[in-house]
Structure 1
């Protein structure tokens, strides 16, 4: 069978058949009197073998080794192909993610594209210093970079870089996009990721669309640190939903001073003040309450307004725990002196 006929039957161009011959992949068995290539049935079968292996992604050099190596095993080849394909797909996924990030930034011109690309490259650096410099530099303020910054916030473990990222994210925040981009982190199975997400939402500020709702949901998180960040932020904003978590923080000694200050701020609402007093008093009376926790509760109580608080403190001056009684007595004296001065 001459080369033209082989090309028609196999779908392989005559040029490629000559290339196979030059590489030694498929050499025609014979030649005509005029010197033309003449292929046997076995040669044609080998051409189809080559084409089949090419369809799997092998190079011509790899195909040559596979066909000539007597120790060649199909399973080893398939294993190599799987690894090569996985590597290629991973690179293509990374490229797709980068392209989507650039598209999400809605670049207006090439300068915008270059700034987003610079931000992506800098955030992907293994050097924490380089990542921080990128965030604080011009690329960190690229228009439409909210989603990129939010993803970086959730992944960043270096505290200095994380702080710079939260600052840049708050600066670039748009109409709800920042909180929406952090939503995946708030739902993560990894507590460390949820902590990063809630801190970022807190730093976006009360006016960020969706922030209050996200923080309210975080009050039910199983991680105390996540709950604490959300409660402190909501308490300062006057959200009564934060009261149970703030009281628990006082009991646990977890940022108890800040929690007490937030409770004092909430107590300016008369309805909320009664609720807070009741919650603190209930914790004081709990049979499992330890002395240090009860002292912290007394300190939180004294910051609240109203005569009811003073009566609770007077009762505590006769507490069975001498340390609690002493602290309560000191606070009652201070409150009485203030009343006399007024």
Structure 2
């Protein structure tokens, strides 16, 4: 079979077949009277063998060794090929994400594209200072792609850079919620925590409240806590049990108590909050330190039912709890007396003068 016929049957160009011949990969066993290459059936099979190995990503040098060395085993080479292919796919995936991010930002010219690429390169820096600078120094005329910022938020471990990223994301043209939602479902608790923190700082975005509500049931206490603080500040009373749990655990307990106080005063759930705190106070497992934290939380509520509990605690069997409660009762009584005096003075100032 002449070279043209082999090319037609194999799909390998005549030029490539000549290259195989020059490298010694596939040398035709015969020549015609006129000096043309003539391939035997075995030569053609070898051409197909070469093409099969090329399809796996082997170089021509590796193919030559594989076909000529009987002792050459494929296991080690195949393992290397798997690793190289995985690396190549990862690079391709990163490139695809960059291209999609640029496309989503709707650049109007190559200058916009270059600025966005510069931002992404800055976010990939090993230096936390460089990453933070890339976020804060971006051009105001070119909106940062929300998906790029959201992805960076989920990956960022430095708290200062993460704060800058959340700030920029909340002010970006897009919302990045799809990326954050995927992060909130991650198996990595740190990624879920970063996602919830970012969602909490976003403007009122459709779906954000539902994602935060789902996070209240998260297995990680930090994730639940961030979600509860965010929802509580938005007046969502479903956060009460988690906030009370934060007080008990001593995890961001001051913030949790402040949010409970706001919910009790402004959102009509004072009795529910007080009952939850009292239940923890009376729990057999509550130690002195925990009960003091709960007492402090009751003081933050500034509602009548909480004051009644504080007066009861002023006579508690635990002397430390009783002293803290007594101090709070005294301060509340002082505030009440001051308020009454202010009202009396105000009323006196409005009386008509005697004639």
- Could you say which TM-score interval applies, normalised by the shorter chain? 0.7 to 0.9
SS at match of 2:284: coil
Specify the alignment match of 2:71 in structure 1.
Answer: 71
CA distance in 2, matches of 1:336, 1:256: 25
Q: Deviations over 1:96-152 (max 9, x none)?
A: 233223233333332332233222222223333332222222269853611111111
Corresponding position: 1:203 with 2:201: yes
Cα offset for 1:251?
1.9
CA distance in 1, matches of 2:328, 2:8: 101
Say whether the 8 Å CA contact 1:28–1:39 is kept in structure 2. yes
Corresponding position: 1:117 with 2:117: yes
Corresponding position: 1:222 with 2:215: no
**Cα separation, partners in 2 of 1:173 and 1:326, compared to 1, 3 Å:** farther
CA distance in 2, matches of 1:271, 1:10: 80
Say whether the 8 Å CA contact 2:154–2:191 is kept in structure 1. yes
Q: Which runs of 5+ in 2 are unaligned?
A: 341-355
Corresponding position: 1:93 with 2:90: no
Cα offset for 1:11?
4.3
Aligned residue pair count: 339
TM-score (structure 1 length as normaliser): 0.87
SS at match of 2:218: coil
Which residues of 2 match residues 164-243 of structure 1 at below 5 A?
Answer: 164-172=164-172, 174=174, 177-205=175-203, 207-243=204-240
CA distance in 1, matches of 2:26, 2:165: 59
CA distance in 2, matches of 1:128, 1:236: 31
Specify the alignment match of 1:36 in structure 2.
Answer: 36
**Cα separation, partners in 2 of 1:251 and 1:140, compared to 1, 3 Å:** farther
SS at match of 1:318: coil
Say whether the 8 Å CA contact 1:112–1:143 is kept in structure 2. no
Say whether the 8 Å CA contact 2:232–2:239 is kept in structure 1. yes
CA distance in 2, matches of 1:270, 1:182: 29
Q: Which runs of 5+ in 1 are unaligned?
A: none
Specify the alignment match of 1:61 in structure 2.
Answer: 61
Aligned-residue CA RMSD in angstroms? 2.7
Cα offset for 1:12?
3.7
Match for 1:275 among 272, 275, 280?
272
Cα offset for 1:78?
4.3
Say whether the 8 Å CA contact 2:215–2:227 is kept in structure 1. yes
Specify the alignment match of 1:102 in structure 2.
Answer: 102
- Once the two structures are overlaid, the 10-residue window that deviates more, 214-223 or 304-313, is 304-313
Q: Deviations over 1:268-327 (max 9, x none)?
A: 237311222222222222222211121222222223334333332222222111111122
Say whether the 8 Å CA contact 1:194–1:226 is kept in structure 2. yes
Say whether the 8 Å CA contact 2:131–2:161 is kept in structure 1. yes
Corresponding position: 1:163 with 2:160: no
Specify the alignment match of 1:131 in structure 2.
Answer: 131
TM-score (structure 2 length as normaliser): 0.84
CA distance in 2, matches of 1:270, 1:69: 81
